Amino acid sequence: MTDAALREPWEEIGRQREAATLGIWVFLASEVLFFGGLFAGYAVARLLNGSEFIDAMRHTDIWYGTVNTAVLLTSSLTMAVAAQTAGAGYRSMARRCFVATAALGLLFLVLKGFEYHKDIVDGLAPGAQFMLRPAAAQVFFSFYWVMTGLHAVHLVIGIVLVSRLAVLSARTAFPLQSSPQIEVTALYWHLVDVIWIILYPLLYLGGRA
């Protein structure tokens, strides 16, 4: 009886799963370089712009940033439990954890939306109304909007993928225990969390002391 998740060209589900994991890690490595370019740009900007760059950081809202970090860390918890319970065949728990993960991702976006609104009202959005005088502040907030915006786009993709699994896992015909799709989605989700873990100190923690 061949596994329902088995596809060509693989003859054994274990090899297919290994191939899927390899493939997603190669993609994640490319994502690391993708954001890495922004990280390197930020590092150079911070180095070359001195104290005014860090002073600008005091205007980001550390409450939103910290709560959102906790939200994403918790979503990685539910995602890990979802993937592991799926692999062990606990369909109901896996489905509930997929739903929780997607919900936490949505919560992050909602909070981010409120934060962006506050940033705009405070005059921190790019444009003529930008209220901080130093040029270095403009540089910092350019990185803030681009890096958090790009992260949010990745998070939206992640929410769509996890929601798809929440729907699929409700169908008993879906081979939840052996399908490589769960691990692939989970690894992508954790990367989105990892990127935020790095963004948090870069965008929120400087200049507070």
Partner 1 sequence: MSTDLARSRPSVGAIWRRNLLVWAALLMLLVLTWTLAYVPLGAANLVVSLAIATIKVALVAVLFMELIHDSALIRIVAITGLFWLAVLFLLTFADVVTRPG
134 SS3 class: coil
156: left (phi over 0), alpha (psi -120 to 50) or beta: alpha
Measure the CA–CA gap between 103 and 109, rounded to whole angstroms. 10
| 68 scored as a contact of partner 1 (CB under 8 A) | no
| 114 scored as a contact of partner 1 (CB under 8 A) | no
| 151 scored as a contact of partner 1 (CB under 8 A) | no
Stretch near partner 1 under the rule CB under 8 A, chosen from 36-44, 124-132, 141-149, 162-170: 36-44
How big, in percent rounded to 5, are the helix, strand and coil portions of the chain?
A: 75, 0, 25
60 SS3 class: coil
Q: How far is the CB of 170 from partner 1 (least distance, A)?
A: 18
Residue of the chain from 95, 112, 151, 190 that contacts partner 1 (CB under 8 A): 190
169 SS3 class: coil
Stretch near partner 1 under the rule CB under 8 A, chosen from 83-91, 129-137, 147-155, 158-166: 83-91
Measure the CA–CA gap between 18 and 201, rounded to whole angstroms. 34
- Contacts to partner 1 by CB under 8 A: 12-15, 17-18, 21-22, 25-26, 28-30, 32-33, 36-37, 39-40, 43-44, 47-48, 62, 66, 69-70, 73-74, 76-77, 79-81, 84-85, 87-90, 93, 177-178, 186-187, 190, 193-194, 197-198, 200-201, 204-206, 208-209
